[in-house]
Homo-oligomer: A and B are copies of this chain.
């Protein structure tokens, strides 16, 4: 993509109304705009990142047997009344012209369970793992964390259906591992954190927490083992307590942001919607359900909070809007050739070919935060090399183009 052809450009100044780093940088760099608190427009750069996060999530859900579908957002009130969900305070409610009541989906148990009832009749039809990546709505009282706490937000939610607790437990572990892989692919190290089941279940649930000061959750974790607990939810522990799991170290407090969660829903929803299956012995039982969420748009915000410096965003390679930010100091055909060579090799390039001061190009390269900055200059042309710099490092390297392209693979 050529910057000179782009209508959505980075700004010189940060927005004045930014409460958080992700809001500030994402607006200034031209990724998003706020329509109102908690509701954002994704500009072309932002949409590219969102789609890449979505695709990583999709691949890992498909890899564990996920079946992608798409459930709607406008729900009849009846399904929410059936489970008690109608009383949830963050549920947006509305009425039609003819006084029919609807809810806007903030989760989809009430849709997926009756939908699956038709397809799950016998033990042979289990397990099942439908999921979708769909926008959700929450009537938040405050929404001041940029795209980290949306009133409208993109979420992947998977639901699993199992014949018995043992089968559920087995898949629960598979799903947790897949989640860690999803986050690792985005450069995030997430902690599997014990928490309460909230509105969904009496059982312990697990949150995937990324330590960051922009977070809203207080956790305690152990440095020796993987133990981690949300102490806003589960207050049996306090900082300095010995780790209840390995007993080797004291628990360390941190502030963290939730990027995903998994719940053991038990039979709550299968009972509510009378989804039962015939077992191999001819009895009828209610399957055990799990639900598995990943905040797609929220994770994009968390990534900006984790990966930035005072000059701008530092995108992890796999979700960066472009891999290379190409700057031509010489206004020559050479930059075009390099751009063509890179794109022909499948490298995503943002070419800053604008007729502006080169200092501004360097500033915008840092602000936008593509993993590699490449400069075409007299110096690089003289040696038949390219001058590259990693966004996260200061060192400038000269390299043959082929070598650089190989290094990306």
Residues of A within 8 A of B (CB): 6-9, 33, 35-36, 39-44, 46-47, 50, 67-76, 89, 92-94, 96-98, 104, 111, 115, 118-120, 125, 128, 130, 135, 137, 139, 141, 151-152
Q: Which of A6, A72, A97 has the most CB of B within 10 A?
A: A72
Q: Using Cβ atoms and an 8 Å threshold, which residues of chain B touch A139? A: 96-97
Q: B130 near A7 (CB under 8 angstroms)?
A: yes
Q: A152 near B73 (CB under 8 angstroms)?
A: yes
Of the A-B pairs whose beta carbons lie under 8 Å apart in the complex, a sample of 26, sorted by A's number, is: A7-B120, A7-B125, A7-B130, A33-B115, A33-B118, A35-B115, A41-B70, A41-B115, A42-B69, A42-B70, A43-B69, A44-B67, A47-B70, A72-B152, A73-B152, A74-B92, A74-B104, A74-B137, A74-B151, A89-B97, A92-B96, A94-B104, A96-B139, A98-B141, A104-B104, A135-B135
A50-B70, A92-B94, A135-B135 known; 4 other A-B pairs, CB under 8 Å? A35-B71, A36-B76, A73-B135, A73-B152
Q: B70 near A39 (CB under 8 angstroms)?
A: no
A90, closest chain B residue (CB): B97
Q: B41 near A72 (CB under 8 angstroms)?
A: yes
Q: B7 near A128 (CB under 8 angstroms)?
A: yes
**Shortest distance in angstroms between A288's beta carbon and chain B's nearest beta carbon?**
17
Q: How far is the CA of A73 from the CA of B136 in the complex (A)?
A: 10
A8, closest chain B residue (CB): B119
Q: How far is the CA of A75 from the CA of B94 in the complex (A)?
A: 14
Q: How far is the CA of A6 from the CA of B130 in the complex (A)?
A: 11
**Shortest distance in angstroms between A53's beta carbon and chain B's nearest beta carbon?**
13
Q: Using Cβ atoms and an 8 Å threshold, which residues of chain B touch A92? A: 74, 94, 96
Q: How far is the CA of A406 from the CA of B92 in the complex (A)?
A: 53
Q: B97 near A141 (CB under 8 angstroms)?
A: yes
**Shortest distance in angstroms between A157's beta carbon and chain B's nearest beta carbon?**
13
Q: B41 near A111 (CB under 8 angstroms)?
A: yes
Q: Using Cβ atoms and an 8 Å threshold, which residues of chain B touch A6? A: 67
Q: Using Cβ atoms and an 8 Å threshold, which residues of chain B touch A73? A: 73, 135, 152
**Shortest distance in angstroms between A15's beta carbon and chain B's nearest beta carbon?**
10
Q: B111 near A72 (CB under 8 angstroms)?
A: no
Q: A119 near B7 (CB under 8 angstroms)?
A: yes
Q: Using Cβ atoms and an 8 Å threshold, which residues of chain B touch A7? A: 67, 119-120, 125, 128, 130
A112, closest chain B residue (CB): B41
Q: Which of A69, A98, A120 has the most CB of B within 10 A?
A: A69
Of the residues B9, B44, B70, B97, contact of A68 by C-beta under 8 Å:
B44
**Shortest distance in angstroms between A131's beta carbon and chain B's nearest beta carbon?**
10
**Shortest distance in angstroms between A29's beta carbon and chain B's nearest beta carbon?**
14
Q: A36-B76, A39-B72, A76-B35 are in contact. Are A9 and B135 (CB under 8 A)?
A: no
Q: How far is the CA of A135 from the CA of B154 in the complex (A)?
A: 13
Q: Using Cβ atoms and an 8 Å threshold, which residues of chain B touch A118? A: 33
Q: B40 near A72 (CB under 8 angstroms)?
A: yes
Q: How far is the CA of A139 from the CA of B99 in the complex (A)?
A: 11
Q: Using Cβ atoms and an 8 Å threshold, which residues of chain B touch A41? A: 69-72, 111, 115
Of the residues B46, B69, B97, B119, contact of A9 by C-beta under 8 Å:
B119
Q: Using Cβ atoms and an 8 Å threshold, which residues of chain B touch A98? A: 141
Q: B93 near A94 (CB under 8 angstroms)?
A: yes
Q: How far is the CA of A115 from the CA of B69 in the complex (A)?
A: 31
**Shortest distance in angstroms between A24's beta carbon and chain B's nearest beta carbon?**
16
Q: How far is the CA of A2 from the CA of B47 in the complex (A)?
A: 32
A153, closest chain B residue (CB): B72
Q: Using Cβ atoms and an 8 Å threshold, which residues of chain B touch A111? A: 35, 41
Q: How far is the CA of A94 from the CA of B47 in the complex (A)?
A: 27
Q: How far is the CA of A152 from the CA of B104 in the complex (A)?
A: 11
A116, closest chain B residue (CB): B7
